[in-house]
Structures are given as C-alpha cells and as structure tokens.
Structure 1
Amino acid sequence: MAGAFLALALLESLVFGVLAWGAYHALSVYLVRWHLEPVLELVAEVDRDGDEAAAAVLAQLADDMDIKIYRDGAGPTKYIPAPERGKPRLTRLESERYALSWRSKQGREYVLVGKIDDFDDLEEVLLQAFLLCAAGGLLAAVVFGLTLGRRISGPLLTLARRIRDGENPGDTPELLDRRDEVGLLTRAFAEREGELRAFLVREQLFTGDVSHELRTPLTVLRGGLEILEAGRSMESGPDASILARMTRTVDSMSETVNTLLLLARRPEQLERGALDMTALVCAQANAVEQAFARRGLAFEIDAAPGIVVRGHAGLAGLVVRNLLDNALRYAETGGVVLRLDAEGLIVEDGGPPITENLRERLFERGVRGGNGTPGSGLGLALVRRACEHLGWAVNYRPGPDGGNVFYVRFRCRF
C-alpha cells in the first residue's frame, strides 16, 4: 500500500512540474512582451506621424536597449512570418534573443529583435525557483505518501497478522474502536469470526450430543446379542449367521459413534500413535468381503506386510470402511481392488467414472454419484475430515481403463 501512495505522490509531483513549467513559460512570454510591445507601438506611431526628431530619439532608445528594428521585409523578417493584423507574435530566436513581429492596419510589417539581459537574469532566477519548488514538492509528496501509506497499511497489516495467527479481531480494541475504514473492516471480520465460531461450536455440540446419546442404546443392543449368544446354541444354521451379522453391525455402529465423537474434537486434541495399517486394512476387508460376494463383485486385497504409520485406529478405520462402502455402493461391473503400501492406500472400483462437474466437489457434504444409487453423500466427506485430522491427504482420479481410483497418502509414517 505504501508503494501505491508513493506512486500517487510521484504522479502528483509530475503534474505539479508540468503546471510549473507552463506557468514559467507563460510568465516568460508575458515579460518579453511587456518589454518589447511598448517599443513596437512607439515605432509604429513615429512612422505614422513622420516625426523625424522622434525617429532619432527612438533610434537612440533602441540602440541603448540593444533592439534592432526592421520594417517591411528587411532583416530577418523572411524567417519570421508576420501575423495578420492584430496581436503581435513573439518568436524566440536563440536562448537570449527574441523577435516581436506585427503588421499594422496600413499593411506595414515590423520586426523587433532584441537581447534582454535583465530578463535573462530574471529567467534564471525564475527557473531556479520553479525547480526548487518542484523538488520540494516532490520530496514533500514522497514523505507524505510514505507516512500516509504506513499509517493506513500498518493497522491493516496488524489485522491481517492477527487473522492469520487465528486470533479473534474482536480482541483488538485499538483496531475495533477506530472510526475509519480500518475499524469498519475489523468489526466486519469480528462479526463474521463470531458467527463462524458459533457455527463450529453448534456443530461440535450436535455431533457430540448425538453420538453420546446413541452409545447407550447400542450398548443395550450389544448386551442383548451377547445374552442370545450365551443362551442358545447356534453353532450352525441360518440363525447363527443372522446373529453374527447383527453383532458385526452393532459393533460397526458403536465404532462409528466413537469415531464421530473423535471428529467433534479439534485435530490437535487427537491422540496419535503407532498404527498397524496392515492389520487394520485386513480387518476392514474381512468385514465387507461377504457383502461384495452377495453383489457378485470380485474383491481383491493387496496389502504389504508390516506397514506402520502414525495415526488413530478409529479414524483410520473410518477412512478404509467408507472408501470400501463407496466402492461397494457404486461398482457395477468388474471388481474392487484394495492396495496398501508404505506410501498410502488405494481403492479401485469398476464403476462408471465420475463426471467432470462432480470431481471438484466430490468430497463435499451431500454430493453423490450420478448413477442414481441411494445414499446420503456423507461418506467421502467423512473420509476427508478424518484424513485432515490424521494429517493425511485423500484424492481421486479416473481409472486408466475406466472406473474410479481413490488414493490416500500417508504424511506421517514411522
């Protein structure tokens, strides 16, 4: 901003210099005319009257003033076109010599050529004065521009620094109480900051409250299933399969509720440690293997052994589980491949490629694929939030032979 004020100051100085030069030129012309025009009028009057005595006096005066008088084309008249009848024309022949030409009503042409020593001295003084004023004006404009720029940009830089550091602009009275544009901007930022903080608090409270309230009925369901398992012999048959599936569903819901409670926290409040991703990925794959089989989809897992990263089991499980659920939901032909290596996690499916207009918003809340498959559009949004909490990165690209590829990059590895 100081640079903008400096540029403005330089522009103002340039305009001032042009105006000063114009004033200097106008004053110079006025002084020369003031010096020569009375002599020109006197010459025309003497010629008109034919007074020889006056002509002699005029000749002596012109000699004393170092002025040459030319009439009717004599002397340098051919180089100085005489104007039409009216106002005399002033021409500068050299740096110190001027010519004043005029045509009288009788049609006579006059040219006065003179060297005005006094005016040269005055011209030098005027030029120095104008240059001094221009330099002083330039210096004053630069100082004023820099001072004003710092005075205005200083509070703005302070406001920007506080916002960048995550501080509330409303906690800065010296900016909040200002009665200028900076104060208005600070109050607008403070109001918006308050609204965003209130929204985040409401979201965290809602997520935490709902998750907390769901834990009790899930615990009751889990206890009832354990009683059924203990009281009945279901080692085989359809009832045993149904009970096992119900148990896995309740366990998955309980894990999801706990994960939502984790997402309600700030990322820096999350406890991270060494996480065996190979074991976690294999466990999640085993949990959904039958679901893929029921849909007639091939499911392949390629997990490198001994992959340990820095993370949280609950959030990492949410990432893998939702990516697999997304592939199960949208894959139509072919199969699904789950790969794990030291760099990250990849889930490939044979579903129709996601359209261009959806790719940029794919990880936003409520965005769903365009094949009409039912869903809430929250799975991939939860994946992104979990990755942000873990310090990971999730992205999408279309498969080389069709289909879709979701890949997660581990940024924190052991």
Structure 2
Amino acid sequence: MTSRDSLRNRIAVAYLLFALGSSLFLAAIAIVAVEGIEVHLVDNRLTEAAAWAAPRHAGGLPVAMPAGLSFYHGASIPEPLRNLPEGVGEVHVDGIGLHVLAGKDASGNYVVVDHESDYEKVELVVYSMFGLGFIGIMLFSLFLGGFIGRRFVTPITILANAVRENSSELPLLERQDELGILARAFAAHTSELRIYLERERLFTGDVSHELRTPLTVITGAAEIIMTQADANPATAAAAERILRAANEASACVNVLLTLARSRDRIAHPVTSLEQIASAETERYQPLVAGRPVALRFLGGPAFAVAAPPELLVAAVGNLIRNACQYTTHGEVSVRLGDGLVRVEDTGPGLPLAVRATFDQGQGAAPGLPLAVCATFDQGQGAAPGAGSAGAGLGLALVRRICEYLGATLAFSEREGGGSVFEIRFNMALTKS
C-alpha cells in the first residue's frame, strides 16, 4: 500500500483541506471587514470634517481641525492635491499615503487630508496576525489529523495483522464501538471458517483412509487374475484396466491426503521437473497407442521445485492425461520453460463453460468449480481407448495442487486449434 492510499494520510489531508477552506473563508470575511472599517473610519470621518470645516471657512471663522486632519481651500491647496476628482481617494505624496476628500463649495475648491499611515499600520498588524494564525491553524490541523488518523487506523492495523497471522484471539473484542463490532464479526467468521476447514480436512482424511482398504483389495485381486496363466485374454485385459484404475485411484487418495495436511507439516524435497515430465510422458504413451496422436517430451531448461513429488506428479500427469484423452489426431507435446511446465495439444480445446472460468494469462479463477472440471474430464468425446484414465478430478485437482504449492495454472488457445496449459511455479521455490 502506498502512502497516498493510506487511510491515516487521507484523514490528515482531509483535516488539512478543511482547515485550509475554513481559513480562506475567514480570510475573505476579515478582508471585507477591515476594508469596511477603513471606509467607515476614514471616509466618513473626512466627510464629517468637510461638512464642519467648509461652512466655517466660508463664514470667515477659524477652522481648527482635529489631530491628523488638515483642511485646505483655494490657493492654499498644495500642488500635488490640486485638480483631484471630487470624492474620497488615496494619494501618495513623497512616499506617504494620504486619504483625501476633494470637494467644492461656493467660494472654490477645498480638500480635507487625513494621513493614513496609522490605518496602514493597523492593516499590516491585522493581516500579519491573520497570516500567523493561518500558519498555526495549518500546523495544528496537520498534527490533529495525523493524531486522529493514528488513533483510528492503528486499531484497524492491529486487527488486520491478527487476522492475517491467524491469531487464535483477536484484539478489540471488548470494545463497544464500531471497531469492536468489526472485531467480533471477524472473530465469528474466522471461527466458522476454522470449523469448516477442519471438518473438510477430517472428512477428506477419513474418506481417503476408508478408500485405501477396498483399493488394496481391488489391486490384489487384479494382480492375481493377471498372473493366472490360463486366464482368458479378455479377462486379463479387463484385470489390467482394473489394476490401472486402482493404482490411479490410490495415487489420487495419496494426493488428497497430502492436500488435507498443512504445508508446514509435510516434507518439501527438491524434485526434478524434468524427470517427472519425462516419466509422465512415457507413462501415458498407452493412451495414444494405435491412434494418430504423437505424445512427445521436448525437454527444455531443467529445474527443480521444493515440493512433495506426489503433488507434482499428479499435476503434470493430469494435464498430460487430459490432453491425450481429447486429442483425436495430431500431437501432444510436453516441454519445460523458465520455471514452468507446458502441455500443448491439437485437440478441440476447452468448452466455453470451462474456458470462462479461466482468467486470461492468470490461470484458473479462484471460483473454478470442481464439478465443472470433473464434467470436462469425464465428458463426451473422450478418445477411444482412454479406459479408466478419466479419474474425475482432472483440472480441478491440478488447480487445487497449484494453489497448495503457490503456483498458477494458465490456459491459452493454441494457434491452429488446441489448448496450451502451463503450470507456473513460484520462482522462490525453483532451483536450476
């Protein structure tokens, strides 16, 4: 998460923007008020002074102006103040700012002058104080926003870390505010997930264990039939198919048992993908025997993965088996890439219903249903002679294995028709 996306920073910025907007609004009001006061104090003062002095001057009476005000009439008007338009205005003489009211009576022109230096000083003090207040408000808002952001976000971060670390006891459960409600909701949901996962794990383990005994019996019976010298050829062929199916089912049971365990509790030997891909290609040669389909291992950069061998065998083997089942002519090729295994075929491609569950270039979508993949693996159109190869798990099992190993299952269409499946392994687990 970038600092721009941080909720803490967003809260601080929100406070800062609120303070900025409020300060600008108050600044506009202050400017209007100061200017209004200036008009009231200066302009009205000059007007009142002119109304008092002009009649006295016309009557020949002495004109004694208050301090700071001067009255000039006719020829006594200083040169810089002559010929001014009537009304109040600001004039600068020798660098000094003056407020001047120019008027005219029956005996001639007159001006009333008020030195505005005092008002300028007052304005400067007011605006300086406002500037300091503006800076103070900005700094305080930034501090207050950061403080409130930390107080608000820190409990959420603590709760998120506890959920991420799968802590048995979540914090904030005792709080009565919204954070407490959120923590209790997380705790309840986490408890339900744990119960569900534990029930699923136990069910998978129990079913797998229960399947081992009948599979062992089936395997033994098929081997006995095959070893009988006087066995009917058709019976021997059927026994061979039974034995192959039983062995595949046993391997599937072992995979399911492994997937039911935690990754931290199983061994992760370094396994060569070149050996597995080559062996699985050779293993499934009978599926294309007598058909216009070539199954080839094309090699590639050799690498190894730290993962249980039975999972790697099941993932690669299922992709090869599916490709052989649904390719009626052409070829199925298996090759290695940079940290990946690619299985490419010239078959009809994936049905639209299954293809929609794949994110382009990212492998199977998280919601890829097991039933859809099983239907595809057992669907219509399997190649003749597939026998018992369609164990019913196929792509769904490959996807589960990839998720378990932190790998991704990617699908793309082959140019000219067909499918391309890739298992891309986490580079942190691969070894050249």
TM tier, smaller: 0.7 to 0.9
Aligned pairs for 1:368-407 within 5 A: 368=373, 373=381, 378-390=393-405, 392-407=407-422
AA in 2 matched with 1:33: H
1:190 aligned to 162, 187, 192, which one?
A: 187
CA contact (8 A) 1:36 1:112 kept: no
Q: Write the deviation string for residues 268-299 of structure 1: whole angstroms up to 9, x where unpaired.
A: 22223254655544554454333323665333
Q: TM-score, structure 2 length as denominator?
A: 0.74
Aligned pairs for 1:14-413 within 5 A: 15-20=22-27, 22-41=29-48, 43-44=50-51, 56-57=61-62, 59-61=63-65, 64-68=67-71, 80=85, 82=87, 91-93=89-91, 96-99=97-100, 112-164=112-164, 166-168=165-167, 171-173=169-171, 175-229=172-226, 232-234=228-230, 237-275=233-271, 277=273, 280-293=276-289, 296-302=292-298, 310-339=306-335, 344-354=340-350, 357-360=356-359, 363=364, 364-366=368-370, 367-368=372-373, 373=381, 378-390=393-405, 392-409=407-424, 411-413=429-431
Q: How many residues were matched structurally?
A: 395
Q: What RMSD, in angstroms, separates the aligned Cα atoms of the two structures?
A: 4.2
SS in 1 for 2:166: coil
Q: TM-score, structure 1 length as denominator?
A: 0.76
- Structure 1 unpaired stretches of 5+: 83-89
- Structure 2 unpaired stretches of 5+: 1-6, 383-389
CA contact (8 A) 1:348 1:399 kept: yes
How far apart are residue 142 of structure 1 and its match? 2.6
CA contact (8 A) 2:281 2:296 kept: no
In the aligned structure 1, how far is the partner of 2:25 from the partner of 2:308? Answer: 71
How far apart are residue 334 of structure 1 and its match? 1.4
How far apart are residue 378 of structure 1 and its match? 4.3
Is the alpha carbon distance of 1:41 and 1:309 closer, same or farther for their aligned partners in structure 2, counting shifts above 3 Å?
closer
Question: 2:3 maps to what in 1?
Answer: none
Is the alpha carbon distance of 1:325 and 1:112 closer, same or farther for their aligned partners in structure 2, counting shifts above 3 Å?
farther
Which deviates more, 16-25 or 145-154? 16-25
In the aligned structure 2, how far is the partner of 1:30 from the partner of 1:304? Answer: 87
CA contact (8 A) 1:256 1:318 kept: yes
Q: Write the deviation string for residues 162-201 of structure 1: whole angstroms up to 9, x where unpaired.
A: 344x234x7233x333344433443343344334333322
1:4 aligned to 2, 10, 13, which one?
A: 10
CA contact (8 A) 1:348 1:405 kept: yes
Question: 1:85 maps to what in 2?
Answer: none
In the aligned structure 1, how far is the partner of 2:274 from the partner of 2:129? Answer: 86
How far apart are residue 134 of structure 1 and its match? 2.8
Identity of aligned residues (%): 30
CA contact (8 A) 2:347 2:418 kept: yes
In the aligned structure 2, how far is the partner of 1:22 from the partner of 1:196? Answer: 59
AA in 2 matched with 1:171: E
Q: Write the deviation string for residues 339-365 of structure 1: whole angstroms up to 9, x where unpaired.
A: 358955332211134467454186323
